[in-house]
Amino acid sequence: MTDTTGITNGQLVRAATPAAAQGPEHVSVPTDYDAILLAGFGGPEGQDDVIPFLRNVTRGRGIPEERLEEVATHYRHFGGVSPINQHNRELKVALEGELARRGVDLPVIWGNRNWDPYMADAVREADERGFTKLIAVATSAYSSYSSCRQYREDFAMALEATGLEGKIMIDKVRQFFDHPGFVQPFIDGVREGLEKARAENADLDLATEVQVLFATHSIPSTDAARSGPEARGFDDEGAYAAQHKAVAEVVMAAAEAGLGLELPAGGGTTVPWQLVYQSRSGPPSMPWLEPDINDAIDELAGGPTRAVVIVPLGFVSDHMEVMWDLDEEALETSEKNGFWATRTPTPGIDPNYVTGLVDLVLERVEGTPVDDRPHLTDIGPWYDVCRPGCCENVRLGFKPAVSGLVP
């Protein structure tokens, strides 16, 4: 029986396994899961899919058709196909291979928020295969409405739409922004990008003539301010920006050490860097996180900068906002300003990343104590069960969500 909030009587977390039902920050009780739910964003796989997909993504936001057509040109430039679904197919296979290598019997079921296979399809598949306890891995590393809570809301909607709430339980691994498996591919990419910059630009001074731009998706300032629990005391850009900045510092320090650069005695790094944003989609009247990457590149003109290394820190794989906003627009802006530029890889199916995702699942399977959980910043390890009010969407209000305390 459920009450009016959809939470089973006697527990505090919707559709949770018993170990997570009372909402501990970190679950240290081993849980015998039946399968992994790989949760993706989804993307079109042909020209006819583009507009329906964009309508799915923007549903409830009142975006006019002419704006959708404008964004659609980015997809049509690549034949109407986003690589994100293929990347998730490859990630699913890679996860299955790593699980098999380690002798872990956990099938992987894949579902998307915005395109086929949808999340409800994945939940139905779980039911058909007799699975009742799922551990979800969302393909998003940071804390915000769109990168965490919205996935949790989609899990709840899928359970409701299929009539399987009360039968299927869904927990979720912690946000993994500072897990070594996610961070290492960026360390490798920045080190290699700086090596390439130095090799292709004579007498390049890494301390003054290179700028590393860590790029992530911009979000509305109101969403940023409410990312992460209020009790953590983040500034008005919330956990979302704080997590990115903390990871960027780790990446820079490790990459520079790999190049043999001597770090400043008082802390910090030698090579200049900044966090920048991309892919803003809101109206001009709505504040979003800044600076935009193209504005940041323009601002470097006339200074000492000769080379730009663009790092897609906010993304787990190459998809349209990497291929268009970075590989097309940002590189074009760099060229316009006379800068040498390169874009480093996303984690994709890097072995470190794949191994790290399996490690995150096994934390919950084995009930790993929080003190034994790897994390590379002082902000982590993040929560297994999201805290009350975490990552509110001010425009939409709180909707039912799994893997977190209400609201």
Residues 134-167: tens digit of each pLDDT = 999 999 999 999 999 999 999 999 999 999 999 9
Count of domains in the chain? Answer: 2
Same domain, 151 and 184: no
Give SS3 for 273: strand
pLDDT in tens, 279-336: 998 778 889 999 999 999 999 999 999 999 999 999 999 999 999 999 999 999 999 9
CA distance 211 to 310: 9
Count of C-beta atoms within a 10 Å radius of residue 250: 17
23 in a structural domain: yes
Name the token pair of 330: 């940002």
64 in a structural domain: no
Same domain, 256 and 364: no
Can you give the CATH number for the domain in which 277 is found? Answer: 3.40.50.1400
Same domain, 154 and 7: yes
Q: Would you say 195 and 335 are in contact if contact means Cβ atoms under 8 Å apart? A: no
Strand blocks (E) in 122-204: 133-138, 169-172
Same domain, 233 and 377: no
Q: String of b and e for 27-43 (b: at least 16 CB within 10 Å)?
A: bbeebebbbbbbbbbbb
pLDDT in tens, 29-84: 999 999 999 999 999 999 999 999 889 988 866 678 888 888 899 999 999 999 99
Same domain, 207 and 251: yes
Same domain, 127 and 274: no
Q: Of 121 and 57, which is predicted with more confidence?
A: 121
Same domain, 280 and 131: no
Residue 388: name the closest of 187, 218, 226 by CA.
226
pLDDT in tens, 347-394: 999 999 999 999 999 999 999 999 999 999 999 999 999 999 999 999
CA distance 149 to 157: 12
Same domain, 131 and 29: yes
In Å, the largest CA–CA distance within the chain is 71
Residue 137: name the closest of 164, 167, 104, 170 by CA.
170
Same domain, 139 and 218: no
104 in a structural domain: yes
Residue 381 belongs to domain spanning = 1-43+82-175+349-407
Would the pLDDT of 89 be above 50?
yes
138 in a structural domain: yes
Same domain, 266 and 407: no
Would the pLDDT of 4 be above 60?
no
In this prediction, residue 320 carries a pLDDT of 92
Helices 238-258/180-200 angle, 10° precision:
50
242 in a structural domain: yes
CA distance 10 to 296: 51
Q: What is the pTM of this model?
A: 0.95
Average pLDDT of the chain?
95
Residues 6+ apart with CB under 8 A from 337: 297, 298, 300, 301
90 in a structural domain: yes
**Of 288, 308, 343, which residue constitutes the final position of a domain?**
343
| Average pLDDT score over residue span 261-280 | 90
Amino acid 70 reads E
Give SS3 for 283: coil
Q: Would you say 84 and 43 are in contact if contact means Cβ atoms under 8 Å apart? A: yes
**Of 343, 371, 388, which residue constitutes the final position of a domain?**
343
How much is the CA Rg of the chain, to the nearest whole Å? 21
Quick one: pLDDT band at residue 2, thresholds 50, 70, 90? very low
pLDDT in tens, 181-239: 999 999 999 999 999 999 999 999 999 999 999 999 999 999 999 999 999 999 999 99
65 in a structural domain: no
Same domain, 189 and 124: no
| Average pLDDT score over residue span 157-181 | 98
Q: Would you say 20 and 171 are in contact if contact means Cβ atoms under 8 Å apart? A: yes
In this prediction, residue 9 carries a pLDDT of 64
Same domain, 101 and 33: yes
For Cα atoms 208, 211, 213, give the angle at the middle one, nearest 5 degrees.
160
**Of 298, 314, 343, which residue constitutes the final position of a domain?**
343
Q: DSSP secondary structure string, 187-253?
A: HHHHHHHHHHHHHHSTT--TTTSEEEEEEEE--BHHHHHTSS-GGG---TTHHHHHHHHHHHHHHHH
385 in a structural domain: yes
Quick one: pLDDT band at residue 8, thresholds 50, 70, 90? low
In this prediction, residue 7 carries a pLDDT of 65
CA distance 339 to 356: 35
| Average pLDDT score over residue span 246-267 | 92
* Cα–Cα distances in angstroms (integers) from residue 361 to residues 134, 204, 210, 252, in the given order: 10, 43, 38, 28
Would the pLDDT of 3 be above 60?
no
Quick one: pLDDT band at residue 6, thresholds 50, 70, 90? low
Burial of 103 (0-12, 13-18, 19+ CB in 10 A): exposed
CA distance 253 to 259: 10
